[in-house]
Structure 1
Amino acid sequence: MTATSNKRKSRGFTMIEVLVALAIIAVALAASMRAVGNLASSEADLHRRLLAGWSADNVLAELRLAHAWPSLGVTQFDCSEGNLVLMCTQSVSTTPNPLFRRVQISVTAPGHKGNLAQLMTMFDDETSRSL
């Protein structure tokens, strides 16, 4: 072997090879950071929806425990849960059977588009029931 061939083998990486490797690492890190950001955003949305579901369920439970015939119409009220500000819309409508009413609870958050939770149930007229 000559001295020239020994120099070529021990030369190492070129600047282009190092830059390509750094670019690949940078793209992989950027993708990882985006995935972590999406995961955190999804977790926050899931937390909001969970609290909204609990809030809607609480409203329906309160109506059931009141043993009162719900009045027809739409009402909107604060139903905040935990540290999250929520607005509930209660819609009571008739059904083909006059002994039942349809009650729907929709939960929204100010500044948030769409419903975070929505529950519907039927109430019977306990006052007209014969024992």
Structure 2
Amino acid sequence: MKHHAGFTLLEVLVALTILAVALSAGFRAVSLATSGASDLRDRMLGEWVAQNRLAEHRALGEFLNPGHYEGDVQQGGRTFRWTEEVKPTPNALFRRIDVRVYEQGEESHALATMTGFLVAPLR
């Protein structure tokens, strides 16, 4: 009687099941990492938009009236929506400006929020 070395059908099925579970966990981890990198990129671009808004006001020497301002801007090949809330301060020579940046069409969650101050030009 000859004895052939090899795997039984049951052993092969168990090995394939273990391999399938391991591969699906690996794909899930890659998917989460890719999604996290995309979210991080969006937040970084949103912060750049907010920084640019504050820098633009300072560079132009603007002293905005208190109120609400909003607009759209292109950054990194994407369109973002920004809102600015300008508020008076106890010192009449300063204004507080709160900038919030959103993905266009998704204004329920801000990607970035920054606060700055505007200074009245000297006369």
What TM-score, normalized to structure 1?
Answer: 0.83
Structure ranking higher on relative contact order (CA contacts 8 Å, 6+ apart) = 2
Corresponding residue of 1:98: 92
Per-residue deviation, 1:102: 0.7
Structure 2: runs of 5 or more not aligned: none
What TM-score, normalized to structure 2?
Answer: 0.88
Per-residue deviation, 1:68: 2.3
Corresponding residue of 1:12: 6
Counterpart-to-counterpart distance in 2, 1:34 and 1:57: 35
Deviations 1:71-104 (A, max 9, x none): 1101110122121110110110012222221111
Counterpart-to-counterpart distance in 2, 1:27 and 1:82: 38
Counterpart-to-counterpart distance in 1, 2:119 and 2:45: 27
Greater helix share, 1 or 2?
1
> Which of structure 1's runs of 4+ aligned residues deviate more than 4 A?
none
Counterpart-to-counterpart distance in 2, 1:107 and 1:24: 45
Counterpart-to-counterpart distance in 1, 2:121 and 2:104: 36
Amino acid paired to 1:109? E
Corresponding residue of 1:127: 122
- Describe how 1:53-92 pairs up with structure 2 within 5 A: 53-92=47-86
Contact 1:80 1:87 in 2 (8 A): no
Per-residue deviation, 1:127: 2.9
Corresponding residue of 2:24: 30
Q: Secondary structure at the match of 1:79?
A: strand
Per-residue deviation, 1:108: 0.4
- Number of residue-to-residue matches in the alignment: 122
After superposition, the CA RMSD in angstroms is 1.7
Amino acid paired to 1:90? E
Greater strand share, 1 or 2?
2
Q: Secondary structure at the match of 1:106?
A: strand
Counterpart-to-counterpart distance in 1, 2:28 and 2:11: 26
Per-residue deviation, 1:15: 1.2
